Amino acid sequence: MTFCADCVKGFVHEGIPQGKVEEIGGINTYVAIPTEDDYPKDTVILFLTDVFGLELVNNKLLADDFARNGWKVVVPDLFNGDPVPKDAHNPGAAYDVMKWLHSGHTPADVRPIIDKVVAELKEEGVTKFLVTGYCFGARFVFDLAFDKVIDVAVVSHPSLLELPQDLEKYLTTAEAPLLINSASNDRRLNLEHQANADRILGNGNFAPGYKREHFEGCDHGFAVRGDLTNPQVKAGKEGAFRATVTWFKNNSKA
């Protein structure tokens, strides 16, 4: 279970978050709500972040964008206030992300946090979970799908997957339609892994639905913390967002 160097690289985006942090199941959670009140109250987008968590404004801004498309969005603090610091982005930074991971942030540590949020949301009447995971957060999209907790799944440049084993398990175990947003330069989901995903889940093999979008000129992390001054990366980020919204809309109809 490893990260690549790009897992702690990226750019901070500009903007002012419109949501607020509140406790859900005892977990600090960023919540973004549509401005119009006619959104489906039984459905939420569960947004599972990269290692920078709520400290990185990019994650909150993306959540706000999803809310503008008509869903309540919840972004749990997966790290109990101890994410990878955003200055680990800085050139020359030598942050030890593996030491951080094994200091209380392994999947075994993080999954109970997610479960608490999901349990509270169910108590509040949520019955449909649309889940999007970026980098680190994508691991839990797979795990939640394996446990049949979620209804629709999206991962963008996933980390911490065991490949191709997790793809094969998804085929035989999961029921949530899956979209993968992939990049041309990603060591965690390289071109061979992408081809394996298509071979295993594509061509109608996974009945609930599978699609992979591919974005040229993009690196690992592009969909949440890419360099927006680079036209290809900007197009990739926007394209991954549009693909995710479309996937959710097409697969969450009653």
d(CA 100, CA 78): 13
Kindly state the tokens that stand for 195.
Answer: 């081809």
Residue of 6, 64, 143, 186 with catalytic role: 186
Cα 45 from Cα 40, distance rounded (Å): 11
Closest Cα partner for 77 from 119, 29, 33, 41?
A: 29
Q: Pick the catalytic residue from 13, 89, 157, 220.
A: 220
Sign of CA dihedral 201, 192, 165, 146: negative
220 is annotated as an active-site residue: yes
Quick one: residue 200, left, alpha or beta (phi over 0 = left, psi -120 to 50 = alpha)?
alpha
Q: What is the three-class DSSP state of 94?
A: coil
Q: How far apart are CA 117 and CA 104, in angstroms?
A: 18
Name residue, tokens 């991954």.
240
User: Does the annotation count 135 as an active-site position?
Assistant: yes
The answer to whether residues 119 and 130 touch, using CB atoms and an 8 Å cutoff, is: no
Q: Which of 4, 7, 135, 218 is catalytic?
A: 135
CA R_g for the chain: 17
The string of DSSP letters for 111-156 reads HHHHHHHHHHHHHTT--EEEEEEEGGGHHHHHHHHHTT--SEEEEE
Is 218 designated active site? no
Catalytic residue annotation? 135, 186, 220
